[in-house]
Amino acid sequence: MSAIGPDPEARRAFILANTRLQAPPHTPELPLHLADEVTPIWRMTEEELGAIGLPPPFWAFAWAGGQALARYILDQPETVAGLGVVDFATGSGIVAIAAAKAGAASVLAADIDPFCAAAVALNAEANGVRLGFTDADLLDAAPPAVALILAADICYEQPLADRVMAWLGAARAAGARVLIGDPGRSYFPRSGLVQLAEYRVPTTRELEDVEVKRTAVWAIP
């Protein structure tokens, strides 16, 4: 039985108690409620949800791919200006927040993690932006009819990576522009994409295997 359950205020309180507002190194203008260590908050999240074997709480960290894609959007605001945007697997909301800051007409952040709604709301509030949010699994339906779909750090596991890339490919075929931030994950495709930018994103060995991660932003042509 979940200790928190679906109560948004309880999840908000959990996040506030177990993170601190801090500036990601590659996007310091976007303060986020982030954890300092993976293992403690991972264990606490499992306890609060009454489940063992959950994936890491991606919402509690600014991963390299998200920081790179957010940096690209902030530096090239014309990428999103005036457009309807979906941020797939939003996590902390860093990419969605960058899109809103850069002038997107609307931004829908999507994630199935039960804590993400609260995390994204807190982080949007910290940055003075308004975001839509959905916890629906977008992979269960055709891609939404929007101008731009953003995704970062989506290729940790092969079956999911294959499914996500196929869905993003369908979105591109339907007319959406698709941008992806990725630091060379094992299951990220090595062909069929166009590299738009590359960054050296400071990170920690708590999250990655190196302290500076070469990370790129890609487009599906």
Instruction: Read off the amino acid at residue 60.
Output: A
Which structure tokens are listed for 17? 């108690």
User: pLDDT digits over 52-92, tens only?
Assistant: 777 789 999 999 999 999 999 999 999 999 999 999 999 99
Q: What is the pLDDT of residue 163?
A: 96
Q: Which residue has the higher pLDDT, 65 or 156?
A: 65
Whether the per-residue pLDDT at 196 is higher than 90: the answer is yes
Return phi, psi of residue 110, to 5°.
-125, 135
- Give pLDDT, residue 2: 44
Lowest-confidence pick of 6-10, 204-208, 215-219: 204-208
More confident residue, 209 or 169: 169
Whether the pLDDT of residue 177 is over 80: the answer is yes
What is the number of alpha carbons within 13 Å of residue 55 lying toward its C-beta? 13
Listing DSSP states for 62-80 in one string gives: --HHHHHHHHHHHH-GGGT
Give the confidence band of 4 by pLDDT, cuts at 50, 70, 90: low
Mean pLDDT in residue range 173-178: 98
- Determine the Cα–Cα distance for residues 173 and 108; give it in Å rounded to an integer: 20
pTM: predicted TM-score of the whole model, two decimal places: 0.93
Cβ pair 153, 65 in contact under 8 A: yes
* Residue 1: pLDDT band with limits 50, 70, 90: very low
Would you say residue 141 has pLDDT above 70? Answer: yes
In percent, the amount of the chain with pLDDT more than 90 equals 74
Answer for the pair 160, 137: CB distance below 8 angstroms, yes or no.
no
pLDDT of residue 55: 78
- Helices then strands, counting H and E runs in the chain, come out as 6, 9
> Cβ neighbours of residue 183 under 8 Å, at least 6 residues apart?
63, 64, 65, 68, 153, 201, 208, 213, 214, 215, 216
Domains present along the chain, CATH in parentheses: 63-219 (3.40.50.150)
State the pLDDT at residue 6: 64
pLDDT given at position 48: 81
In this prediction, residues 125-140 reach a mean pLDDT of: 97
Q: Report pLDDT digits (tens) over 14-54.
A: 999 999 999 999 999 999 999 998 888 988 888 888 777 77
206 versus 91: the higher-pLDDT residue is 91
Strand, helix or coil for residue 128: coil
